[in-house]
Amino acid sequence: MALPGMPAFAAPAYDTANGEWRTYGGNLASWRYSALDQINAGNFSKLRHAWTFRPDNLGPVPDPNLQATPLMVKGTLYLTAGSRRAAVALNPATGELKWKYSLDEGKRFTNAPRQLSGRGLSYWTDGEKDRILFVTVGYRLVCLDAQTGLPVPDFGTNGIVDLKTEMDQEIDLTGERVGDDIGLHSTVLVVGDVIVVGAAHLPGRAPFKRHVKGYVRGYDARTGKRLWIFHTIPRKGEFGHDTWLNSSDEYTGNTGNWCQNSADPEQGLVYVGVEAPTGDWYGGARPGDNLFGESIVALDVKTGVRRWHFQTVHHGVQDRDIPCAPILCDITVDGKKIKAIAQPTKQAWLYVLDRRTGKPVWPIPERPVPKGDVPGEWYPPTQPHVTKPPAFDRQGFFKEYLIDFTPQLRAEAEALVSNYRIGPLFTPPSASKWPRPLATIMNPNGDGAAQWPGGAFDPETNIFYIFSNISYNPTGQVPANPAVTDVGQMLGTATPPGEKSAGITRMTVQGMPLMKPPYGQITAIDLNKGEIVWQVPHGETPDEVRNNPALKGMTIPRTGSKGKVGVLVTKSLIIAGDGTATTGPDGKLGGWLRAYDKATGREVGAVPLPTKVTGSPMTYSVDGAQYIAVAVSGGMPGQLVGFRL
């Protein structure tokens, strides 16, 4: 039941029991689960290629990075595709195009911060009308008739809402003004008759203090009218404003909600993840804890009012954005039933909270963290530390993590690391000095641990699954050039005396990762117990390791590989594709779609892919046949590939 004062919110369940896939995560709880079991351990390797959809001509150039997860609704597949981000409808049995819609946006397209095809689209119905909703490259919300692909005339203005307006701030519509880069790569979330829309910006650091703010908004799914707005940087008089010191809230931007979201209609809540404020690596211009940066925020679906929040990182300076949709699940802990939310993060932690209140299910205490030495930076004294479940990948950087295939490789790695500062997870970026420390080696970095594909959940067992990979980088600050930026420090590396630049940022050893394997893995976590059930390397050993001369004559067990990889749970399997293309026996680059026994992690089958996966797999059924579809890209234009028995 909903809490007092929080009425239940009418919304369809959108589950996958009927062989459909009506929302990005399979349902509003983002389980990425289907009970379909025609494809199983005994026949997975017998899957055959059923069809391929190539969106090469849907834009000025072929899309090099197709990331969309298609929807399956009433006998049609829907997704965004192509470098101009067209919405398309496909025959789910053949991959044939039914209709397409795209918009030529001129300068808004060329100046957009989040280009290419995006991660998909959304579906709404009232039982009579069926609509498709997506956000264009130029940050417009488009509403289409699901049967025809034509704009719905009574939504917004001729089927379109300009998301650069009604933003409670002035934004240059063309995107030409510095700091006004705003868009969205993810899908909007439809909860009943409310469309929840986030915002994204240029990745990485910003050259100026002033930047557009990534507020979250709710729109009427019938009319396109704005219903509410949530200020991710609180205004004066709003909760959290006191966490922005020296009036830094007035000019600081970002804090966008660029990831996928989840919702609980019974509680009337939508759960949004918020990224770091401007900029990712230096926060001296924004002293304070900086709510709601790097926070999970529960909003009332009808009004946008904050019900609770949990900040995972105070005053972030290491790109610890909330990267993906949280998993909503009903678990049993020590005999007590809890309506939980499980949020994977770039820290390799899973934050498990009561989704009604935001209270941690297991303790997440504030613990002291080191203070850095970057001039002008502001440092929080403590950070929250998850105590349970255990981290699902390595955190921080220590010598025991270094490559150790041979003593010589280990010695070379230790010599390289000696020029850098290393330590636990919250070791801050260094003031870069010559000869040392050149920087702090941060692990995981912005591309490590959990990424935008997120995890999956098995409601039969209450086990959570996620792919994670190692990814680390040197984070050192140098004084910024006032001719190009008005911030005090910029990410860089110290320069040796008498030289113009150093570039001492090599983080490999003879072409191999500085850290030892696994490079990528899938982890299963029992959310009733808060314990890891199993971990297995996922992905083939990369070519640079498998064929490295330094390892000639050695047998290297499969290391797993890096990538941004989504997982799918079915009745008996975990399914995921390789995030790195490797050379096969035929001498060609390719990848594999793999299946694992979901109880043990044992690989039970694999089928070849033309290249690495860049989207998350989903499954559906048509005329009694189960299909799996996944987007692949890399070394060739992106394409959506369908498999069946």
Q: What is the mean pLDDT of residues 319-329?
A: 97
Least confident of 394-398, 567-571, 583-587: 583-587
pLDDT in tens, 18-39: 999 999 999 999 999 999 999 9
Q: What is the mean pLDDT of residues 504-511?
A: 83
pTM of the predicted structure, to 2 decimals: 0.96
pLDDT in tens, 33-91: 999 999 999 999 999 999 999 999 999 999 999 999 999 999 999 999 999 999 999 99
Q: How high is the pLDDT of residue 17?
A: 81
Q: How high is the pLDDT of residue 4?
A: 42
Q: CA-CA distance, 69 to 24, in Å (whole number)?
A: 6
Q: 577 pLDDT exceeds 80?
A: yes
Give the model's confidence band at 2: pLDDT under 50 very low, under 70 low, under 90 confident, else very high. Answer: very low
Q: How high is the pLDDT of residue 483?
A: 82
Give the model's confidence band at 1: pLDDT under 50 very low, under 70 low, under 90 confident, else very high. Answer: very low
Q: CA-CA distance, 10 to 521, in Å (whole number)?
A: 38
DSSP 476-520: EEEE--TTT-SSSEEE-----TT-S-------EETTEESBPSPSE
Give the model's confidence band at 482: pLDDT under 50 very low, under 70 low, under 90 confident, else very high. Answer: confident
The enclosing H or E element of 112 equals: none
Contacts of 319 (CB under 8 A, 6+ apart): 276, 280, 281, 346, 445, 446
Count CA atoms within 13 Å of residue 257 on its CB side: 30
Q: CA-CA distance, 468 to 579, in Å (whole number)?
A: 11
Count CA atoms within 13 Å of residue 600 on its CB side: 5
Least confident of 69-83, 198-212, 450-464: 198-212
Percent of the chain exceeding pLDDT 90 equals 90
Q: 371 pLDDT exceeds 60?
A: yes
Residue 482: both structure tokens together: 């006032």
pLDDT in tens, 381-410: 999 999 999 999 999 999 999 999 999 999
Q: 12 pLDDT exceeds 80?
A: no
Q: 227 pLDDT exceeds 60?
A: yes
Q: Which burial class, exposed, middle or buried, applies to 154 when counting CB atoms under 10 A from its CB (0-12, 13-18, 19+)? A: exposed
Specify whether the CB–CB gap between 161 and 224 falls below 8 A: yes
* Cis status, amide bond into 287, omega within 30 of 0: no
pLDDT in tens, 102-122: 999 999 999 999 999 999 999
Contacts of 186 (CB under 8 A, 6+ apart): 24, 118, 119, 198, 200, 258, 259, 260, 452
Query: Is the model more confident about 38 or about 4?
Result: 38
Residue 496: both structure tokens together: 């040796």
Q: 491 pLDDT exceeds 90?
A: no
* CA proximity to 534, closest of 399, 637, 640, 392: 392
Q: How high is the pLDDT of residue 490?
A: 86
Q: How high is the pLDDT of residue 6?
A: 46
Q: What is the rounded average pLDDT for all residues in the chain?
A: 95
Q: How high is the pLDDT of residue 600?
A: 98
Q: How high is the pLDDT of residue 388?
A: 98
Q: 324 pLDDT exceeds 50?
A: yes
Q: Which residues pair with 416 in a beta bridge?
A: none
Q: How high is the pLDDT of residue 571?
A: 94
Specify whether the CB–CB gap between 641 and 630 falls below 8 A: yes
Residues 357, 359, 360, CA angle at the centre, nearest 5°? 145
* CA proximity to 159, closest of 187, 181, 131: 131
Q: How high is the pLDDT of residue 506?
A: 75
Q: How high is the pLDDT of residue 13?
A: 52
Q: How high is the pLDDT of residue 8?
A: 59
pLDDT in tens, 275-316: 999 989 999 999 999 999 999 999 999 999 999 999 999 999
Q: Give CA separation, 117 vs 421, 563, 637, in Å.
A: 39, 18, 12
